[in-house]
Structure 1
Amino acid sequence: MIVKDMLPISFLEGGGFLELMASVEPDYRVPGRTTMTKRIEKLYKDKAEDLRRSLSTISKVSITTDGWTALTTESYVTITCHYIDSEWEMKSAVLQTRATPERHTAENLAEGLRSATESWGILEKVTACVHDNASNVTLANNEYLDWDSSPCYAHTLQLAINDGFKLKPIHHIVAGARRLVSHFHHSTVATQALCQKQVDQTLPDHRLIQYCRTRWNSIYDMFDRLLEQRWAVAAVLSDRSVTTLSDARTLDLADDSWIVMEEMLPVLRSLKCATTALCGESGVSSSMIYPVTATLLTKHLPAAPEESKKVAEYKQTVSVSLKRRLKPDEESSVHRIVS
């Protein structure tokens, strides 16, 4: 239970758990931290040995790697292995998550990847490594390692999408929407008033969604929810017993901003669907890159006659950025599909 639910070992000493065990099985002696630590370590060794045996029967594998920073500002690198077993089922396994206090140079990253794959006996079996678009890990895979370097397409798409959000008019609208949502998240009075306005206007009892910088999809979610609750939000901002006039002037979005948000929803929805499809773990998503890209470039990103100039510029920026970020062979393949 501790391993499966990722509970701290101190869970064993919790008063509620001890009372539960005393009620369920009074004669059971709950193991201490030392005993449980040894059991978890043994479980890890057993699982690692099972994985090692499985990998020994596989001829080819691919890996993915990503660096991240914990809340304690410690840097970690995770390496995941992907392969097809003898039953033709795709399998994935996390090989390691280790702290990386050293500088994240291309040489150090390459040595970390080489050491990890070698320790699992798969160094000569790796056909490709999927990674983000950071220059250091890209250089590590291209110059120091003998396998194909495959930048994560979902990350590439995200970078192109974010280039569109950097356009000044779009950035201004996102900032205004974020400021509006933040007001409701930090004001108990405004939140309670919004709940009452939702009842009065028979709108869904939904909380406004804030934009998260590390998840561009949350901009779509923020716009979608604001449009759903637009008139309830407007009613709260116009209620002087809840919102002061100065705050209302600062927070209220112009009609043009609401129109752009509404026009952007379809294209953002398409981009969100593409990102979601390419982030799945249960299937081989690489085969979807060309058709997804071709569909975006020919159907969802071309400007429509009836939409505003701001939305057309956003689409154009994302389209140009996406084409620029594709590898030459990828761009030619997409071009053939489009043609």
Structure 2
Amino acid sequence: MKRSKRSTVWDHFNRKGEDEVTCKICCAVLKYSSSTSTMQYHLRSKHPQASSDEGQQTLPAMLSGRRCDARRSEEITQRICSMVVKDTLPISVVYGEGFQELLGYIEPNYEIPSRCTITRRIEARFEERKKSLKSQLESTKCVALTTDCWTALTTESYITITCHYIDEDWQVNSAVLLTQSMPSRHTAENLAAKLIDAVETWGLNGKVSACVHDNARNIVAANSPERVNWESVPCFAHTLQLAVNDGFNVFVHRVIVAAGRLVRHFNHSTPACKALEDKQSQMKLPKHQLIQSCKTRWNSVCDMFGRLLEQRWAVTAVLSDRTVTRLQDARTLEIRDEHWQIMEEIAPVLETLKCATTIMSSEKNVSISNIYPITFSLLNTHLMRAEDDGHRVTEFKAKVRQSLSGRMQVVIIRLLLLSLLLLSLFCINWGVICSSQVDKDDLVAKPALIASVLDPRHKHLPFFAQTEKEAAKAKLIEMCAAMEMANAEDETAVSATQAGDKDRSQSNAMIMLLGDDYSAPRQATDYPEEVDIYMRDNPPSLDINPLDWWKANERRFPKLATLARRYLCIPGTSVPSERVFSAAGLTVNRLRSRLTPNHVDMLLFLNKN
């Protein structure tokens, strides 16, 4: 049986269900019931050029009959702005011949706006988004900051500040507040002034709990109590990297230099790179490129060692091939067997340290509460000497362990916690420990340790002795007492309002008889009891999100929940600020050397928010 010829009208329509079709030209939806007459009528009336010679018409010819009204023109312009922001493209892309040809093909009747028009639209979008973010932050009671400085290709110096907070639904939120030019010297005074100005601009006075930064002296001094009224939190990932670098300085740096020289040769030599690919195919190895380490990028040494160990025999084969590598070069580039052995032995230790950095660099999950658990795990387990460790690995572990212990000051934290406990023993009850008795610089008051206690997974502090756990508990009670005194007036006003609301709700008989908290779990009568109940509860498993736990238990521990919002929102690292640099590298490039600092701020703000 001969098939009927398919109508050419289907070149302009798509099926949408069993009884509808959609026009490819104008997106109109038509009814369809086995006959194409409706579609042919639509083409004749709406797209005459398409119906006159369907087989030969081009898309521009088809679209030329469609009117690009003001509304559609505005939508296209807004999407061009979104493309520039999301893909970090130069605004001058609208002048590109390829871009104009593309839009001319897709929308012949659209008039492409000028660069100045796109700039004005982006500025308006920035002001609108900034206003929206400011409104969100107004309803937030507590935020944390991260900050870092960087230099663009134009040698312009910038400072980036991000903020992080936990919303009412117990979700972690983050935003880039600003990326501003920093032409003045990066002294502690200038950096502190920039931070304070940003806090005031965004209406965050009194809401900042802490600022996370690297270990540079100027930014550490800028966040000291003498200059700002929030806590200073050193970036844990940077602290860990400094400790690892101290371990590298023992003997591993020689291996790093030799490995870096070898990788650099393959990355800059086309014949060597092609020969490596051939050897990988012959030896059935993964076709991976070698990785070059970078001083400013964390864990790159671990990645370089791992890739070299994976491709060791392919690399050795290329160096042994005299048609590719000269004998003199081979002698310079070859890695000694001793160095290969060091890389192989030290790789598992570096992988563990890399894992710690990866966990701490998360923006969407609670991270600061993991600092002390991870630190003590590294010191007491992963950096301890194993039976099969060689003397080189043992020496490396010992050096990193010593450096990390000193930088985290975990040696004296036990003494400070014990001293806090002794102070509390002379008080009538736990609640009368006043802030004058405890130095604000004591490590027991550091946000990372407080966050560990407020994280239900770590609240029992298994890495501490019992006396130290009691001291941490005393600190929680002290903070609850201080918070209650500070909020006494506000709580009185709220209680009065709630009492009035309760009087108005007496029309409900069940609420009148049983009370509106009938189904609520039992709450503590005062903050010492609240802390005691919280500490006696069994901790959840490590795979539980602590914010989900607090969402479910907020009514049981209202005071501690307030503290949890304040401290668990603090990132454990300054990675959020540094991640802006990757987008900044695409924004401030050689094609955009005339981009003003104000427009850099706008583009990065819109890209990240």
**TM-score band w.r.t. shorter chain:** over 0.9
Q: What is the Cα deviation at residue 330 of structure 1?
A: 8.8
Shift of 1:325: 0.6
What's 1:149 paired with? 232
Which shows bigger deviation, 57-66 or 303-312? 303-312
Inter-CA distance 96–28: structure 2 relative to 1 (3 Å threshold): same
Partner of 2:247: 164
Give 1:104's aligned amino acid: H
Q: Does 1:187 align with 2:269?
A: yes
- Residue 392 (structure 2) pairs with residue 310 (structure 1): yes
Separation (CA, whole Å) in 1 of partners of 2:413 and 2:384: 17
C-alpha deviation, 1:109, in angstroms: 0.8
Specify whether residues 18 and 276 from structure 1 end up closer, same or farther in structure 2 by C-alpha distance, changes over 3 A only: same
Q: What's the CA shift for 1:328? A: 5.5
Aligned ranges 1:36-185 → 2 under 5 Å? 36-142=118-224, 143-167=226-250, 169-185=251-267
Which of 366, 369, 372 aligns to 1:290? It is: 372
Structure 1 counterpart of 2:49: none
SS of corresponding position for 1:67: strand
Residue 61 of structure 1, CA deviation = 1.0
Shift of 1:336: 6.1
Classify the secondary structure of the residue corresponding to 1:123: coil
Equivalent residue in structure 2 for 1:29, among 104, 111, 133 = 111
Q: How far 1:86 moved relative to its partner? A: 2.4
Determine helix, strand or coil for the equivalent of 1:166: helix
Listed one character per residue, the Cα deviations across residues 107-155 of structure 1 (whole Å, up to 9, x for unaligned) are 1111110011001110211111111111111111112001111111111
Q: Which amino acid aligns with 1:297?
A: L
Q: What TM-score comes out, normalization by structure 1 length? A: 0.96
Unaligned runs of 5+ in 2: 1-82, 415-448, 453-460, 466-609
Cα distance in 2 between the residues matched to 1:72 and 1:4: 22
Change (3 A) 1:261 1:177: same
Retained in 2: the 8 A contact 1:141–1:148?
yes
Distance 1:158 1:124 in 2: 32
Hey, what's the Cα distance between the residues in 1 that align with 2:116 and 2:296? 38
Does the aligned pair in 2 maintain the 1:76–1:99 contact within 8 Å? yes
Q: How far apart, in 2, do the equivalents of 1:199 and 1:59 lie?
A: 59
CA 1:338–1:251 in structure 2 vs 1: closer, same or farther (change >3 Å)? farther
Contact 1:63-1:128 within 8 A present in 2 as well:
yes
Whether contact under 8 Å (2:211, 2:230) holds in the other structure is yes
Moved more, 119-128 or 319-328: 319-328
1:304 alignment partner AA: A
Contact between 1:83 and 1:92, CA under 8 Å: does it hold in 2? yes
Specify the SS of the correspondent of 1:127. strand
| Deviation (angstroms), 1:96 | 0.6
Runs of 4+ in 1 over 4 A off after TM superposition: 327-331, 333-336
Q: CA deviation at 1:88?
A: 2.2
2:264 is equivalent to residue 264 of structure 1: no
C-alpha distance 328-310 of structure 1, shift in aligned 2 (>3 A): closer
Q: RMSD over aligned Cα, in angstroms?
A: 1.7
- Whether the 8 Å CA contact 1:290–1:330 is kept in 2: the answer is no
Q: Over residues 162-183 of structure 1, what are the superposed CA-to-partner deviations in whole Å (9 max), with x where a residue is unaligned? A: 111122x211111001111111
Counterpart CA distance in 2 for 1:195 and 1:328 is 48
Aligned residue type for 1:326: M
1:12-27 alignment, distance < 5 Å: 12-27=94-109
Q: Specify the alignment match of 2:294 in structure 1.
A: 212
2:84 aligned residue: 2
Q: 1:336 to 1:323 in 2, by over 3 A?
A: farther
- Whole-angstrom CA distance in 2 between matches of 1:236 and 1:115: 57
Q: Does 1:300 align with 2:382?
A: yes
Question: Could you tell me how far apart the structure 2 residues matched to 1:202 and 1:336 are?
Answer: 47
CA distance in 2, matches of 1:41, 1:94: 16
Which amino acid in 1 is paired with 2:395?
E
Greater RCO, 1 or 2 (C-alpha within 8 Å, sep 6+): 2
Give the CA deviation at 1:317: 0.9
Measure, in 1, the Cα distance between the counterparts of 2:325 and 2:411.
Answer: 56
Does the C-alpha gap of structure 1 residues 221 and 330 become closer, same or farther in structure 2, counting only changes over 3 Å? farther
Aligned residues: 338
8 Å CA contact retained: 1:208, 1:222? yes
Distance in 1 of aligned mates of 2:89 and 2:411 = 46
**Bigger CA drift: 296-305 or 112-121?**
296-305
Partner amino acid for 2:154?
T
Q: Deviations over 1:67-87 (max 9, x none)?
A: 111122221111111112223
Contact kept? 2:143, 2:163, Cα under 8 Å: yes
Amino acid in the other structure paired with 1:160: A
1:227 aligns with 2:309: yes
Are 1:294 and 1:338, in contact at CA under 8 Å, matched by a contact in 2? no
- Residue 463 of structure 2 corresponds to which residue in structure 1? 337
Q: Judging changes above 3 Å, is the alpha-carbon distance between structure 1 residues 230 and 328 closer, same or farther for their aligned structure 2 residues?
A: closer
How far did residue 307 of structure 1 move? Answer: 2.1
Indicate the percent of aligned positions where both proteins have the same amino acid: 54
The answer (yes or no) to whether the contact 2:405–2:411 under 8 Å persists in 1 is: no
Contact 1:83 1:91 in 2 (8 A): yes
Runs of 5+ in structure 1 lacking a partner?
A: none
Match of 2:463, SS state, is helix
Asked whether the equivalents of residues 323 and 331 of structure 1 are also in contact (C-alpha less than 8 Å), the reply is: no
